[in-house]
Amino acid sequence: MENKRKKHKMNAVRILALGFLGVICMGGILLSLPISSVSGEFTNFLDSFFTSTSAVCVTGLVTLDTWTHWSTFGQVVILLLIETGALGFMSIATFAAILFGKKISLRERLVMQESMNAFNIQGLVKMVQYVVGFTLLIQCIGAVVLSTQFIPQHGIGKGIYFSVFHAVSAFCNAGFDLNGNFVSLVPYAGNWVILLTLSALIIVGGLGFAVILELYNYKKIRRISTHGKLVLLVTAILIFGGTLVMFLLEYKNPNTIGPMRIGDKIVNSFFAAVTPRTAGFNSISTDKMTTAGAFMTILLMFVGGSPGSTAGGIKTTTLGIAIVTVICIIRGRENTEAFGRRFSKELVYRTFALLMIGVTLVMVVTMILSITESGETFLSLLYEATSAFGTVGLSTGVTQRLSSIGKIIIMITMYCGRVGPLTVLLALAHNKKRNGYKYPEGKILIG
């Protein structure tokens, strides 16, 4: 029985990895067709697959401008890829099966469990229904608010289309926009409604559906789980702490928020702290930020959002557990403890393993890019590598200048950032070997 269960879980990991790859390939083929481009010509496969990978991995890095290159058909394909990548193809497939009255098998439930980062398989089908329904509801609300700004500017049809596209892109933490010429949201730096609405969608999408469900049911259960508390605490610290740091670092920068009024400075600093949480929009020029501001953005991109959300990165809980562990070691505590709870050593081991894997991957990718993209600065390449790993989508302009090898490296990094860390965690969690014996303790000096 145990062997069968392990086989199911290993298959679940393989299904997730291959499933994402399959969706990417399908999207790449569709985007390469003449109907997907404004010019009506075939788009080369490398750029098509790069865009598809970026959409499915909800990243937002683009080699071709979304508005000027892709036709309406191509943009709709990108939007569907974003939604599929954010919710997970298993969630969408399960929701479709529910609509057609199909029974969900144990194997499918196990794959859903791995896909949604759930603690167990109990209540997963209802969870999928809730996730899809909540996603559509929040995206509709966001689109309605955004339409008050886009309709007066673009007219009813185009305004509604812009509103829906940007609401979906923001909630899914994708960072794709339709403003053309790679300007992102810089033209709307003074529009508080657009910036704050997109910020709200990004934050909600990055919290994780389990935490959102806890907040929704708080009046009934009157408690928040340890996981929820850690997610909310780290998220609040990163957002408000990041806002303060961005405000101070860019306050006098004439190329970013320097010339703005105090209110616009605060709102744009807030947006600059929120969007690296794997959304990828920018209202100020990323390539003109101070070195300290760019490095702060890299740190925020590396952390990303929370488990079970539409965001990427190493996740807020990983950072939280790592910091709590360090604090407990300094205080002389035997265990990692927070909120009146003790965390298992296995969880702590996996936390630092994921942290090291993330750092190593970013460093290796940066080193490779420094060889293939010899004309770029180290900081811009580190920025690009972190953005790809964290599935963020922010860039200093390097993406459009990437060589063919560079594009392939970034594609692999985006895929690993979306699928890899989860797969590594599952392998560490489920392939645990019990030897039945222990080696003698070895002593090593550190520090």
Provide the mean pLDDT of the chain: 84
Residue 421 above 80 pLDDT?
A: no
Cα angle 351, 352, 357 (rounded to 5 degrees) comes to: 100
- Give the pLDDT band (50/70/90) at residue 31: very high
Q: Check whether 428 has a pLDDT greater than 80.
A: no
For range 30-55, the mean pLDDT: 94
User: What is residue 72's predicted lDDT score, i.e. its pLDDT?
Assistant: 94
List 342's β-bridge partners, or say none: 337
Residue 89's pLDDT is 52
Give the range with max mean pLDDT: 16-20, 57-61, 225-229, 362-366: 362-366
Least confident of 40-49, 129-138, 166-175, 277-286: 129-138
pLDDT for the residue numbered 340: 86
**pLDDT per residue over 188-204, tens digit each?**
999 999 999 999 999 99
pLDDT single digits (tens) 114-162: 555 555 555 566 667 777 888 889 999 999 999 999 999 999 999 999 9
Q: pLDDT at position 83, please?
A: 87
Q: How confident is the model at residue 5 (pLDDT cuts 50, 70, 90)?
A: very low
**Taking 60 as the threshold, does the pLDDT of residue 18 lie above it?**
yes
> What's the whole-model pTM score?
0.86
Spatial separation of the C-alpha atoms in residues 372 and 375, rounded to whole Å: 9
Q: Note the pLDDT tens digit of each residue in 389-410.
A: 998 989 998 999 999 999 999 9
Q: Which region among 129-143, 166-180, 213-227, 331-345 has the lowest average model confidence (pLDDT)?
A: 213-227
Per-residue pLDDT, 19: 76
Comparing 1 with 247, which gets the higher pLDDT? 247
Span 209-238, average pLDDT:
86
pLDDT at 224: 87
Least confident span in 37-41, 121-125, 382-386: 121-125
Three-class secondary structure assignment of the chain: CHHHHHHHHHHHHHHHHHHHHHHHHHHHHHHHCHHHECCCCCCCHHHHHHHHHHHHCCCCCCCCCHHHHECHHHHHHHHHHHHHHHHCHHHHHHHHHHHCCCCCCHHHHHHHHHHHCCCCCCCHHHHHHHHHHHHHHHHHHHHHHHHHHHHHHHCHHHHHHHHHHHHHHHHCCCCCCCCCCCCCCHHHCCCHHHHHHHHHHHHHHHHCHHHHHHHHCHHHHCCCCHHHHHHHHHHHHHHHHHHHHHHHHHCCCCCCCCCCCHHHHHHHHHHHHHCCCCCCCCCCCHHHCCHHHHHHHHHHHHHCCCCCCCCCCCCHHHHHHHHHHHHHHHCCCCCEEECCEEECHHHHHHHHHHHHHHHHHHHHHHHHHHHHCCCCCHHHHHHHHHHHHCCCCCCCCCHHHCCHHHHHHHHHHHHHHHHHHHHHHHHHHHCCCCCCCCCCCCCCCCC
Place of tokens 């770029």: 376
Stretch 375-380: mean pLDDT, rounded? Answer: 92
Average pLDDT (70-90) is 86
The confidence score (pLDDT) of residue 203 equals: 92
Most confident region among 43-57, 207-221, 338-352 by mean pLDDT? 43-57
The string of pLDDT tens digits covering residues 340-373 is 889 988 889 888 988 998 999 999 999 999 999 9
pLDDT band at 233 (very low <50, low <70, confident <90, very high): very high
pLDDT for 319 equals 92
> What pLDDT is attached to residue 213?
81
Residues of the chain above pLDDT 90, percent: 54
In tens, the pLDDT along 89-118 reads 555 555 555 555 566 555 555 555 555 555
Q: Where are the domains of the chain?
A: 2-430
pLDDT of residue 441: 74
